[in-house]
Each structure stands twice: as C-alpha cells, then as structure tokens.
Amino acid sequence: DDGAMFLKLSRGKGWIPSNKTTTGSTCTPYSLPAGATSELEDNHHHLPKCSMGLGEVKQRTRVHRLSLATSKYAESFKSRWMFYFICVFDTLVLLNTLVMAVEAQERGLRNNPDPGVSAAQWPNSKEAFDMLEWSFGVLFTFELTVKLVILQVEFFHDAWNF
C-alpha cells in the first residue's frame, strides 16, 4: 500500500491520490459504490491507485468547490431575482385592479350620472383607460414570456400560472 486515500468531494465521489508528487496525472474522478462510501473512506484501502499529486488534488478540489459555489450562487440569484420579479408584477396586478375599479366608477357615472356629478369632469377618460388597459396587457404578456423562458417546465408546476 503506497498510502492511497479517498478525498471526498460529495455523495461518494472524489479523487484517489497517491503520495507520489508527479506532475502528470493519470487520475480520473472515482465514484464509490452505493453504501460503501463510509467503509472505504474510513479504511482507505481497496481503492485504485493513481499518480496525481496532492497539489493537483487541492487544485481540482478548489475548482469543484468553485463550481458548486457558482451553481449555488446561480440558484440563489435566480431565487432572489424571481422574488423581486414576482413582487413587481403582483404590484402591477393591484394597480390594474385599482384602474379597473376607477374605470367602472367612471362608466357608471357616464351611463347613469348622479345629479351633482357630470361626465365632463372626466375628460378623455376613455382614451386614458384604453391606454392603461393596453399597457397592462403588454406588461403581463412580457411577464408570461419571461417566466416561460426562465422557468421552462417549472412554469407549469405552479397553479397560479394558469
């Protein structure tokens, strides 16, 4: 035995270095059989030998950690981004609801005016409400498109998207 050991990275995967400090590496990633992880790690025998030096193992481990951190950061960024994205569009839904309520009030006054209120107090209201309706429609179409592109299949897992 030349001192081979298993350097654990995650879920039974890792690198099998030897005590040799050669510059060339013939090591490849090694996966332990299911259920054998702790036994092989504790006893560090029955492991294939290779010629990768410990310096290279450290470098590869750093790269692996960096890729894990990057993927975790990407997931974290996606979660934060989606949180703010959803907050913005939830606010737009509330604003759209308020605009629809004001529009309903204006239509009611125009069709059946109160004795003290005239339709002339709301000049160009129809054009303004039409413009707001189109604006909200474009924004909500944009929201739908972005969610479909970013979430892909996950989009259909949330009942609120239907």
Integer Cα distance of 6 and 40 in angstroms: 8
pLDDT of residue 151: 80
Integer Cα distance of 93 and 96 in angstroms: 5
pLDDT of residue 125: 84
**DSSP symbol at 48:** P
Hey, what long-range contacts does 55-62 have (CB within 8 A, 24 or more apart)?
55/21, 56/17, 56/25, 56/27, 57/7, 57/15, 57/17, 60/15, 61/7, 61/9, 61/15
Full-model pTM? 0.50
- State the Rg of the chain over Cα: 31
Q: What is the mean pLDDT of residues 134-162?
A: 87
